[in-house]
Amino acid sequence: MKTILSLQNIVINLGGKPIIDDLSIDFCEGRIHALVGPNGAGKSTTASIIMGLGGYRDVAGDILFDGVSLQGMSVDERARMGITLAWQEPARYEGLLVRDFIGQPAKDKSEARTREVLDMVNLNPNAYIDRCVDRTLSGGERKRIELASILAMEPRFVLMDEPDSGIDVEALECIFDALHFFKESNATVVMITHSPVVLRKAEHAYLLCSGKLSREGSPEEVDAFFTEECASCEEPSAEKVVQETR
Amino acid sequence: MKNNDLLEKLYRSINRKPHALRDRPDIARVEIHHDRVLGVHLVPGLEITAEEKKDTINAKIRVVQGTIIENPIQVCFGMIPENGLQRIVLEIDIEDDVHAAIVAHCTFPNALNIRHEMDAIIRVGKNAHYAYFERHVHGDKGGVTIVPNSKVFVDEGGKYQTDFELIKGRVGKIYLDVDAELQARATAAINARLSASGDDIVEITEKIRLVGEDSVGALTSYLAVRDTAQACINNEMIATAAGARGHVDCKEIIQDNGIARAVPIVSVEHHKAHVTHEAAIGSVDNKQLETLMSRGLDEDTAVDLIIQGMLGGAPEISKAGEDFLTL
């Protein structure tokens, strides 16, 4: 299978200690991946590095997307190449309407398309298109609206940070349904998760530990190792390293 | 310039059809250019008198007790020339048990050196509901100074809401002053949304005095401040009666070299009253920005969308305004 995104020897140091330690991963195109690991293993940092968030626009090592280095590229430049991120806790926007939140960045900016993607995440377009993406929406509703906005941008590479966090069963089903849409369009998905339920939806899994790739394989193999071996491990997490250096 | 030409230019400047309202006898309207009243149309229960003086209009609006005016009264006022003074002295009497709303468009599209003053006294009767939405449309030169002053008295059980919006064109200079006094069970919501840029100056002073038992007040000001614009919001809520409740909310987003200041004052003089406030001044929230950028919007477009959302939240009365806009 073709590699769509390649992390090559990525190193991130904080206070002289590595939080991502010579990490190399090849993500195959069109596949659903899971990135698992204990708290502070570097999963969300890896997503930030790929998306170029915060201080992670330039990092040691390289990131190739379809053969092109992402080093130095801004978040929006990466997004226009087809990379995007669904956040663990989606942002709230006072006054910003769902139609604008979804429609403005969408490939097809028509209202019909906005309605279609709302339908795809099981939200009634009539009830939601003129609502604000603010605190009046539940966490599950905001996750679904975020997912709708991602579907509308028709991405090639989707990072999903803790897709099951803070949502109900119905919303989680919508997220799993969306995986089919991504699969149909040959998009690549990377789900960052602790959850065995989410992990089992993947086709391939990676286990991170202290910023290093510890293991990869089928979701079942990685889940078994994670459950049996990681729980009793004394390895200091990256999170602890960050706390110690502050 | 003839009245019809002025009227045409006023409406065109706010991007509306000049004669759309002529075919709607069920909608009351008032049109004012500088110190001339260009048009008035009344509906049952509404009385308007206006006196023209040099640079000044003295007007009285009365809505007779018990009247329910279905459609918002449409007001369009402003000045087409580049220079001048427009002073409007206004008395509004919303009598007991009235339901009425005004949607006002205030336009100065070519202003280089225009001063617009408004001195209003507004009385909202017992159990009356009155809402006032004012949208300003300014040109891009910033040559306008706006000085609106309102004294508002809301009687027992009355409801008063006002929305001031200036988000298109340059502000110029604005010194907005509202002082409202609420009797028992009265409510007031005073909202302002402005976008300042260039060397604009915004000074907002709003005060609600909750003197009646169980009265409720809310002061909300949302501003975007860009370039070298300066803004200062002085919001004050004073509660002196049992059961009075108030909230002061101020949000300002700063870009470039803008300067923003918020001075919320809350004063509670009765142990059974309760007032809260929140103020946030800063740049655009990073997570909001990065989320939109991770969908492919460049930074400037994402910032504009966030600010547009913050300033464009649609209060009830502005929906009534939008109905008019589509005529």
pLDDT on residue B21: 82
Query: ipTM of the predicted structure?
Result: 0.92
pLDDT tier at A7, thresholds 50, 70, 90: very high
| CB-based contact A49:A20 (threshold 8 Å) | yes
Per DSSP, B248 falls in state E
CA distance B59 to B76: 14
Two tokens, residue B34:
């500088």
For residue A79, give the nearest of A100, A99, A97, A104 by alpha carbon: A104
One-letter amino acid for residue B63 of the chain: V
pLDDT of residue A199 exceeding 60? yes
pLDDT on residue B119: 97
A85: which chain B residues are within 8 Å (Cβ-Cβ)? 294
B290: which chain A residues are within 8 Å (Cβ-Cβ)? 51, 53-54, 75
Could you tell me where the beta strands, DSSP code E, fall in chain A? 3-14, 17-28, 32-36, 60-65, 68-69, 83-86, 157-161, 188-193, 204-209, 212-217
Q: Which residues of A217-240 are buried (b: 16+ CB within 10 A; e: fewer)?
A: eebeebbebbeeebeeeeeebbee
CA distance B253 to B232: 12
A97: which chain B residues are within 8 Å (Cβ-Cβ)? 309
pLDDT on residue A235: 59
pLDDT on residue A170: 83
B167 has a chain A CB within 8 A of its CB? no
pLDDT of residue B327 exceeding 70? no
pLDDT of residue A138 exceeding 50? yes
For the segment B36-41, the average pLDDT, to the nearest whole number, is 94
CA distance A97 to A130: 6
CA distance A139 to B115: 48
pLDDT tier at A245, thresholds 50, 70, 90: very low
For residue B197, give the nearest of B239, B157, B254 by alpha carbon: B254
B292: which chain A residues are within 8 Å (Cβ-Cβ)? 104-105
Give A205 to chain B, closest Cα distance, Å: 24
Give B249 to chain A, closest Cα distance, Å: 13
Q: Give the other-Cβ count within 10 Å of B243's Cβ.
A: 17
pLDDT on residue A242: 41
Closest-approach residue (CA) in chain A for B313: A95
For residue A44, give the nearest of A25, A18, A19, A69 by alpha carbon: A19
A91: which chain B residues are within 8 Å (Cβ-Cβ)? 285, 287-288, 291
Find the farthest-apart pair of alpha carbons in chain A and give their distance in angstroms, rounded.
Answer: 53
What is the average pLDDT score of chain A?
90
CA A232 to the chain's CA centroid: 27
B118 contact partners, CB below 8 Å, separation of at least 6: B87, B88, B90, B147, B148, B149, B150
Residue contact B309–A93, C-beta within 8 A: yes
Q: Which residues pair with A215 in a beta bridge?
A: A207
CA distance A204 to A200: 9
CA distance A149 to A103: 8
User: Among A123-132, B61-70, B173-182, B305-314, which is the least confidently predicted range?
Assistant: B305-314
Using a 10 angstrom Cβ sphere, with 0-12 exposed, 13-18 middle and 19 or more buried, the burial of residue A90 is buried
Q: Name the phi and psi angles at A29, rounded to 5.
A: -65, 140
Nearest to A91 among B288, B311, B313 (CB): B288
Share of chain B above pLDDT 70, in %: 95
For the segment A129-135, the average pLDDT, to the nearest whole number, is 93
For the segment B25-44, the average pLDDT, to the nearest whole number, is 94
For the segment A180-208, the average pLDDT, to the nearest whole number, is 93
pLDDT tier at B316, thresholds 50, 70, 90: very low
For the segment B6-34, the average pLDDT, to the nearest whole number, is 88
Q: Give the other-Cβ count within 10 Å of B152's Cβ.
A: 25
Nearest to B294 among A84, A95, A97 (CB): A84
For the segment B237-244, the average pLDDT, to the nearest whole number, is 97
pLDDT tier at A38, thresholds 50, 70, 90: confident
CA distance B64 to B96: 8
pLDDT on residue A244: 44
pLDDT tier at B322, thresholds 50, 70, 90: very low
Summarised one tens digit per residue, pLDDT across range A68-84 is 999 999 999 999 999 99
Two tokens, residue B245:
């409740």
Nearest to A96 among B286, B296, B305 (CB): B305
Q: Which residues pair with B250 in a beta bridge?
A: B221, B279
Q: Which residues pair with B179 in a beta bridge?
A: B151, B207
CA distance A129 to B292: 17
pLDDT of residue B56 exceeding 70? yes
Residue contact B310–A95, C-beta within 8 A: yes
To test the contact with chain B by mutation, choose from A49, A78, A89, A94 the residue with the greatest count of B C-beta atoms within 10 A, namely A94
| CB-based contact B238:B270 (threshold 8 Å) | no
A54: which chain B residues are within 8 Å (Cβ-Cβ)? 286, 290
pLDDT of residue B63 exceeding 70? yes
Share of chain B above pLDDT 90, in %: 81
Summarised one tens digit per residue, pLDDT across range B134-180 is 999 898 899 999 999 999 999 999 999 999 999 888 999 999 999 99
CA distance B25 to B23: 6
User: Among B18-27, B64-73, B98-107, B286-295, which is the least confidently predicted range?
Assistant: B18-27
* Beta-carbon-side half-sphere exposure of residue A95 (alpha carbons within 13 Å): 15
Residue contact A79–B293, C-beta within 8 A: yes
Give B235 to chain A, closest Cα distance, Å: 21
What is the average pLDDT score of chain B?
92
Q: Give the other-Cβ count within 10 Å of B40's Cβ.
A: 15
Reported pTM: 0.79
Q: Give the other-Cβ count within 10 Å of A61's Cβ.
A: 16
pLDDT on residue A231: 66
Summarised one tens digit per residue, pLDDT across range B216-226 is 999 999 999 99
For the segment A186-204, the average pLDDT, to the nearest whole number, is 93
Sheet with B144-154: strands ordered across:
B46-53, B56-63, B83-94, B113-124, B144-154, B173-182, B201-210, B230-239, B259-268
One-letter amino acid for residue B156 of the chain: E
Give B283 to chain A, closest Cα distance, Å: 14
pLDDT on residue A16: 81
| CB-based contact A11:A170 (threshold 8 Å) | no
pLDDT on residue B244: 97
CA distance A219 to A217: 6
